[in-house]
Structure 1
Amino acid sequence: MTVTLVTGPVRSGKSRHAEDLLSAHPEVVYLATGPQPGTDPEWTARVAEHRARRPSGWTTVESLDIAAVIRRAEQPVLVDCLGTWVTRLVDDVGWDDLAAAGLALAAARDALLSALATAAVPVVLVTNEVGWGVVPPTASGRFFADELGRLNAAVSGRADAVHLVVAGRVLDLTSAPVVPEHPRPRTLRA
């Protein structure tokens, strides 16, 4: 089945584009990976905005086990988003033990990639591009940016289509050259 990665900066239209990609399907599993609305009114408003846009035939699932949801799915799956997923996975381990968090993320990433390789339904994953700014000044900030960047590259490698959404515009990166995992050896000239 088709796996599509939709990436871009915050408030660029990524989620709306991902929803549009699956709009022809009357039933979709909408996998929300972010924290539940609570005492943060801005976050609560964001979640409410997303919920209001979803068609009535779409089922919302709130889970961190993306791989299990994809494996069980009988309808297309929209995952929104990998950035909040990474944050919550690290929250569960603790930001004070980044080595343990890295191991947990590696296991979760491997499970996700395995599930994507065998997906029986279309899957659209939304993620954030966080590496376009300055290098974060804290170890946890650098860890998050590095881990999400690695995850995005790995999922892109498994995706059939990759879309970059910037300023409300969609760029299809599907046929763009892929960065090799290891640099090619240089030939020295005499």
Structure 2
Amino acid sequence: MRVLVTGGVRSGKSRHAESLLDAALPVVYVAPGPTRDDDDWAARVRAHQERRPEAWTTAETHDLATALTVEPPVIVDCLGTWLTAVIDDLEGWDAPVDELTGRVLDLVGTAIAAMGHDVVLVTNEVGLGIVPEHRSGRVFRDLLGTVNQRFAEACDEVHLVVAGRVLVL
């Protein structure tokens, strides 16, 4: 099973993704987001951590390729925060778009090649709203849309979550 779960902020996509895996079995929960010194961010992270089953372990890493090679089922939450961390790591917010896109897609290709079975990927759906005013918003939106397409091609199913409801695409 390879599933990409997408949706908007607070749509219920993380809870749905978590429900796809057995809470009693070992699962590696990959948290690839950036670390921040921000109370709101810390509260979000804590809420996610507290609802994880005891049999699950957490891996905080930006290295998706390595994280996806482990034996137990894997959940990655989420590709949007992973992309933010990668762009930060690459110091790419001001880089030429073609160069940044190439570097990110190389990482995506390596991660996809490393994916085993029983992988659930969570991502944010982008592009349903207005065109962002700032360059960084446009770069992020465009790159995440491309990243989502690549992972969707490698998955068996794509689930769209809206208001807690799931539509299998």
Q: Which TM bucket (shorter chain)?
A: over 0.9
| Structure 1 contact 28–76 (Cα < 8 Å) conserved | yes
CA RMSD of aligned residues (A): 1.3
State the match for 2:45 in structure 1: 47
Q: CA deviation at 1:24?
A: 4.8
Q: Tell me, what secondary structure is at the counterpart of 1:55?
A: coil
CA contact (8 A) 2:23 2:53 kept: no
Residue among 80, 83, 93 paired with 2:80: 83
Give the alignment of 1:1-190 within 5 angstroms.
2-36=1-35, 38-71=36-69, 73-94=70-91, 95-99=93-97, 100-116=99-115, 119=116, 121-173=117-169
Secondary structure, aligned partner of 2:141: helix
Question: Against the structure 1 CA distance between its residues 25 and 3, is the aligned structure 2 distance closer, same or farther, given a 3 Å change threshold?
Answer: farther
TM-score, normalised with respect to structure 1: 0.84
Q: Which runs of 4+ in 1 moved over 3 A?
A: none
Contact residue 33 and residue 64 of structure 1 kept, 8 A: yes
CA distance in 2, matches of 1:20, 1:68: 24
Q: How many residue pairs are counted as aligned between the two chains?
A: 167
Answer whether contact 2:26 2:56 (CA < 8 A) is retained.
yes
Alpha-carbon distance between aligned partners in 1 of 2:60 and 2:27, rounded to the nearest angstrom: 14
Seen in structure 2, the aligned counterparts of structure 1 residues 152 and 25 have a Cα distance that, compared at 3 Å, is farther
Secondary structure at the counterpart of residue 166 of structure 2? strand
Q: Distance in 1 between matches of 2:17 and 2:96?
A: 31
Q: What residue identity is the alignment partner of 2:14?
A: S
- The alpha-carbon distance between structure 1 residues 48 and 24, as it changes in their structure 2 partners (threshold 3 A), is closer
One-letter amino acid of the counterpart of residue 47, structure 2: E
Counterpart of 2:128, as a letter, is W
Question: Could you say if the C-alpha distance between residues 98 and 90 of structure 1 is closer, same or farther in structure 2, counting changes exceeding 3 Å?
Answer: farther
What amino acid maps onto 1:13 in structure 2?
G
Shift of 1:43: 0.4
What is the CA distance between 1:26 and its match in structure 2? Answer: 1.3
Structure 1's unaligned 5+ residue stretches are 174-190
Deviation per residue, 1:10-30 (Å, 9 max, x gap): 000010001000035510000
Between the aligned partners of 2:96 and 2:33, the Cα distance in structure 1 is 20
Question: Which piece of structure 1 moves more, 100-109 or 145-154?
Answer: 100-109
- Larger RCO of the pair (alpha carbons < 8 Å, separation 6+): 2
Following superposition, the deviation at residue 115 of structure 1 comes to 1.9
Letter in 2 for 1:90: I
Q: C-alpha distance in 2, partners of 1:67/1:151? A: 14
